Chains A and B, each alone.
Chain A
């Protein structure tokens, strides 16, 4: 691994100064499960690695019925699925954090890092998009908010400019009539990269029909996708297999998958349909529970 400096600032201001000073030569370290591999294998370079885990705002995790979830960008995956209250409210996020790598990875990897790494096959990003999450970003020009659905710009590329970093992910509050789920298909039982991943979120109205829905698709385009038309189709509909199947067909229309060793484009498109139906069924069960 090439030599680099290390800094562990304890405030957002100090981190911003370091990142601004070093520009594209600075790399952020949260859980390290992507960046350390990338630095070791020469996929990315750094003059300085800025460890953001000592900044309190980055490790904070709070829920309120008014403002929803504040998830510090450095919070580890296991802190999410091991928190029963959080896992109950944000099923899709718990599903996705529980299947990223093995236990050792989940002890370190952060949702913020998974987002910034911007892999088309990232597991948490479809879950975050389905849950209508936004990234709270800070940088030399101040704070801004970016919807997770607009955060990724291509494989490994995100919307941040030099000097900026994600402080937290914010997700709207959840009530008992809402449910969400994330599933992926992999040829192995565990420890693999999604061939396709799908996140679903639904809100039921007082008579049990769908008041709102959000579907998101991973590993079928250069970035994770928000399936807007398929989501809109479900609004006002009865939550049944026929409508789920029609939403699945609409979702399949927006994908532009590649063919690689994990699966062909045709196979991936088929899987989108299967996983949309399955995740909607799970999200529905959770909303009805």
Chain B
């Protein structure tokens, strides 16, 4: 009988809060987020890096959390779909997905929201082609891509308008 590998203590930041957990080296970050930390927004789709349903942001970059070991989160800053809305309400991307009916079964939606947030923060005013290229790592098996792209374009407009407003208010 082999002895179980010792669990490793990890300290990380999730959605702005310092978090500690214990995990086995073989546990993926996706497993840790869902099963240990109770953050079930990220979904397990393919579990091999194709579908993007488990997308989270680590140190400002979108990654597939199924392809990250939990132990690699040590010292990282992680953002999940749970951190997108704030106390004032839903994020414009979330509002636009709802208003534009940019989801059918919804399994891919958290991954799309996280990727879209990363995209609009990095490339405000992105063209449709850029949106489609940069979101090619998120698959929707209901194939509602057109509505998803339109929702992201609308959110982009709202975000740039609110940025303009805040400039005017200054």
Kindly state the separation between the CA atoms of A6 and B27 in the bound complex, as whole angstroms. 11
- Is the C-beta of B94 less than 8 angstroms from some C-beta in chain A? no
Beta-carbon contact of B69 and A36 below 8 Å: yes
Binary A-proximity of B61-99 (CB < 8 A = 1, otherwise 0): 111101111011000000000000000000000000000
Beta-carbon contact of B28 and A36 below 8 Å: yes
Q: Which of these binds chain A: B12-20, B32-40, B46-54, B151-159?
A: B46-54
- Is the C-beta of A108 less than 8 angstroms from some C-beta in chain B? yes
Please give the distance in Å from A114's CB to the nearest CB on chain B: 14
Take A2-B26, A3-B26, A4-B5 as given contacts and tell me if A105 and B69 are in contact as well, using a CB distance cutoff of 8 Å. no
Beta-carbon contact of A104 and B69 below 8 Å: no
**Which residue of B25, B28, B48, B136 contacts A41 across the interface (Cβ within 8 Å)?**
B48
User: What are the residues of chain A within 8 A of B49 when measuring CB–CB?
Assistant: 33, 37, 101, 104-105
Closest to B137 in A: A102
Please give the distance in Å from B3's CB to the nearest CB on chain A: 10
User: How many residues does chain B have at the interface if contact means C-beta atoms less than 8 Å apart?
Assistant: 35
- Is the C-beta of A78 less than 8 angstroms from some C-beta in chain B? yes
Kindly state the separation between the CA atoms of A190 and B50 in the bound complex, as whole angstroms. 11
**Which residue of B2, B5, B137 contacts A104 across the interface (Cβ within 8 Å)?**
B137
Please give the distance in Å from A18's CB to the nearest CB on chain B: 14
User: What are the residues of chain B within 8 A of A102 when measuring CB–CB?
Assistant: 52, 134-138
Inter-chain residue pair count (beta carbon < 8 A):
92
- Is the C-beta of B55 less than 8 angstroms from some C-beta in chain A? yes
**Which residue of B47, B48, B115 contacts A103 across the interface (Cβ within 8 Å)?**
B115
User: What are the residues of chain A within 8 A of B133 when measuring CB–CB?
Assistant: 190
Take A29-B69, A33-B67 as given contacts and tell me if A104 and B25 are in contact as well, using a CB distance cutoff of 8 Å. no
User: What are the residues of chain B within 8 A of A104 when measuring CB–CB?
Assistant: 49, 52, 55, 62-64, 67, 115, 137
Closest to B55 in A: A104
Kindly state the separation between the CA atoms of A48 and B47 in the bound complex, as whole angstroms. 21
Chain A positions 12-60 with a Cβ under 8 Å from a chain B Cβ: 29, 31-33, 36-37, 39-41, 49, 51, 53
Beta-carbon contact of B5 and A3 below 8 Å: yes
**Which residue of B4, B61, B67, B134 contacts A32 across the interface (Cβ within 8 Å)?**
B67
- Is the C-beta of B142 less than 8 angstroms from some C-beta in chain A? no
Please give the distance in Å from B145's CB to the nearest CB on chain A: 11
User: What are the residues of chain A within 8 A of B136 when measuring CB–CB?
Assistant: 102-103, 189-191
A contact set with B: CB distance below 8 Å:
1-6, 8, 29, 31-33, 36-37, 39-41, 49, 51, 53, 78, 101-105, 107-108, 189-191
Interchain Cβ contacts under 8 Å between A and B, 6 examples: A3-B26, A40-B48, A102-B134, A104-B52, A104-B55, A104-B137
